[in-house]
């Protein structure tokens, strides 16, 4: 198993800093990271910890969403900011009108609003 040493990390609160952190880890692109054995292990870990239901609706989750891209998140050291989501909720978070990618801070704010609304809804059942 590979060992990653976490040193000076870019903040991880933007796609640019995500890419810098990934380069520090040896990944040239986010797509290559998502195809790696490391990501597959992290993905399985998150599903095992948090279940296979979407964190924002009653649907089955099919993917894991990053709410930030700190090195501890990208290496799987913590899963606090990784969430199981269905395709529909993930697309709503990530893309705006015309399928334009939303800035990370906007996607994160939308996620937190939706999560709070879902928890309030479930509490009133």
Higher pLDDT, 119 or 73: 73
Residue at 96 is within a domain: yes
Reply yes or no on whether the pLDDT at 125 is more than 80. Answer: no
Residue at 7 is within a domain: no
39-92 tens-digit pLDDT: 999 999 999 999 999 999 999 999 999 999 999 999 999 999 999 999 999 999
Residue at 8 is within a domain: no
Residue at 1 is within a domain: no
Residue at 2 is within a domain: no
Residue at 5 is within a domain: no
- Phi then psi dihedrals of residue 53, to 5 deg: -105, 145
Our count of domains for the chain comes to 1
Which pLDDT does position 7 carry in this prediction? 46
5-20 tens-digit pLDDT: 444 445 778 889 999 9
Specify which residues 66 forms β-bridges with.
82
Which pLDDT does position 11 carry in this prediction? 75
């Amino acid at each position: 198993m590979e060992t990653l040493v976490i040193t000076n990390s870019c903040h991880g609160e933007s796609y640019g800093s995500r890419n810098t952190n990934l380069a520090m880890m040896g990944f040239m692109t986010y797509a290559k990271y998502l195809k790696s054995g490391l990501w597959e292990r992290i993905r399985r870990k998150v599903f095992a910890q948090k279940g296979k239901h979407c964190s924002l609706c009653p649907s089955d989750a099919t993917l894991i969403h990053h709410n930030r891209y700190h090195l501890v998140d990208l290496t799987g050291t913590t899963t606090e900011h990784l969430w199981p989501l269905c395709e529909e909720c993930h697309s709503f978070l990530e893309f705006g009108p015309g399928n334009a990618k939303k800035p990370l801070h906007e996607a994160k704010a939308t996620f937190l609003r939706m999560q709070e609304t879902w928890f309030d809804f479930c509490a009133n059942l």
